[in-house]
Amino acid sequence: MKINYIKNHQDIVEPQKTVLVLGYFDALHLGHKALFDKAQEVARESHLDIVVLTFLESPKLAFSRFTPDLLQHLTYPEKRYAMFETYGVDRLYLMNFTSDFAKISSDDFIATYIKSLNPETIIVGFDYHFGHNRTDADYLSRNFEGNVITIDEVTDDGHKISSTRIRDLVASGNVSEANRLLGYDFSTRGIVVHGDARGRTIGFPTANLAPIDRTHIPSDGVYVTDVTVKGQRYRSMTSIGENVTFGGTELRLEAHIFDFSGDIYGETIEIFWLEKIREMEKFNGIDELVEQLCRDQEIAINW
């Protein structure tokens, strides 16, 4: 897949007809996957490449009062782009959603961006809107000479699969349900840094993680996780929160990796969140803490 960073439609070069998928795909969850499944079907039948026009950051940044969560993602950029490739995308066009872009009318968007992307077929979700006048897929169908396919809402348990729903699940610690709706394991990347080294003294050494991406992090607690270190995946258990048993006041992200030894300071590792075991607790002493960690380990190993 080729990734193209563009400033406007003049940077787009598509001389051959394409299948175009439009939208902002933060999570690339199962609802989004439905669009790409259809795109691959159409592309195979018509012998066309799949192209996507999307945005580096949330369009809400151009409209809403800023809050830090607007800059957070469910998937870090490299993983997001890899998912696009997995979903069959041949060329990905990425741009910033700016005030200037937001002022473009629907007709001008069709005449410039869509014309430049040269689609034979356009695929959008049921709730897709575009242009400063916020027109929908029906308007696109009436004003575009090719085919427009609108994918119906994808639901689970009677509710729409959406990035908002998945973010809420992550925030509540329900990572297993978030993974089910994503269709892959939610993860966090970070650099292994020095901590207090208490884990070594009680038989549970941990890799302390300094997150490097603007991604959401699950709620405080202890989790069943997998960790990739130097390209190899290991089962682990990971805690998030203040180390209250030892009077900690700073948020810590610590992974105890099973069947692994050695120093990995400075390495970038990835934690895959699989299931929440329990909330963070304050124990009366080290013996009580170790007993609980042994129980947590048993759960994680046999998950």
Predicted TM-score (pTM) of this structure: 0.91
Measured in whole angstroms, how far is the alpha carbon of residue 251 from the centre of its chain? 22
Task: Please give the pLDDT value at position 201.
Answer: 66
Q: Quick check: 249 pLDDT over 70?
A: no
State how far the Cα of 113 lies from the Cα of 119, in Å rounded to an integer: 10
Task: Please give the pLDDT value at position 290.
Answer: 87
Interval 234-239 mean pLDDT: 96
The mean predicted confidence, pLDDT, of the chain is: 93
Share of the chain above pLDDT 90, in %: 83
Task: Please give the pLDDT value at position 198.
Answer: 66
User: Any idea which of 55-69, 114-128, 132-146, 247-261 has the lowest mean pLDDT?
Assistant: 247-261
State how far the Cα of 154 lies from the Cα of 57, in Å rounded to an integer: 23
As given in the structure block, the two tokens for residue 137 are: 């897929």
Residue ranges of the chain that CATH labels 2.40.30.30: 186-301
Task: Please give the pLDDT value at position 73.
Answer: 95
Query: String of b and e for 145-177 (b: at least 16 CB within 10 Å)?
Result: eeebbbbeebeeeeeebbbebbbebbeebbbbb
State how far the Cα of 28 lies from the Cα of 80, in Å rounded to an integer: 7
Q: Quick check: 246 pLDDT over 80?
A: no
Residue ranges of the chain that CATH labels 3.40.50.620: 2-160
State how far the Cα of 79 lies from the Cα of 226, in Å rounded to an integer: 16
User: Any idea which of 137-151, 252-266, 278-292 has the lowest mean pLDDT?
Assistant: 278-292
- pLDDT tens digits along 147-193: 999 999 999 999 999 999 999 999 999 999 999 999 999 999 999 99
Q: Quick check: 19 and 123 in contact, CB under 8 A? A: yes
User: Any idea which of 121-130, 147-156, 245-254 has the lowest mean pLDDT?
Assistant: 245-254
As given in the structure block, the two tokens for residue 39 are: 């795109």
Interval 62-71 mean pLDDT: 92
CATH homologous superfamily, domain 2-160: HUPs (3.40.50.620)
Q: Is 186-301 a CATH 2.40.30.30 domain?
A: yes
C-alpha distance from residue 69 to each of 57, 59, 72, 76, 164 (Å): 11, 13, 5, 14, 12
Task: Please give the pLDDT value at position 195.
Answer: 79
Residue type, 142: R
Task: Please give the pLDDT value at position 287.
Answer: 82
Task: Please give the pLDDT value at position 10.
Answer: 97
C-alpha distance from residue 253 to each of 156, 211, 240, 270 (Å): 31, 9, 5, 12
Task: Please give the pLDDT value at position 164.
Answer: 95
Share of the chain above pLDDT 70, in %: 96
Confidence band, pLDDT 50/70/90 cuts, at residue 204: confident
C-alpha distance from residue 157 to each of 171, 179, 181 (Å): 20, 15, 11
Task: Please give the pLDDT value at position 155.
Answer: 96
Query: Which three-class secondary structure string do you get for the chain?
Result: CEEEECCCHHHCCCCCCEEEEECCCCCCCHHHHHHHHHHHHHHHHHCCEEEEEEECCCHHHHCCCCCHHHHCECCCHHHHHHHHHHCCCCEEEEECCCHHHHCCCHHHHHHHHHHHHCEEEEEEECCCEECCCCEEHHHHHHHCCCEEEEECCCEECCEECCHHHHHHHHHHCCHHHHHHHHCCCCEEEEEEECCCCHHHHCCCCCEEEEECCCECCCCCEEEEEEEEECCEEEEEEEEEEECHHHCCCCEEEEEEECCCCCCCCCCEEEEEEEEEEECCCCCCCHHHHHHHHHHHHHHHHCC
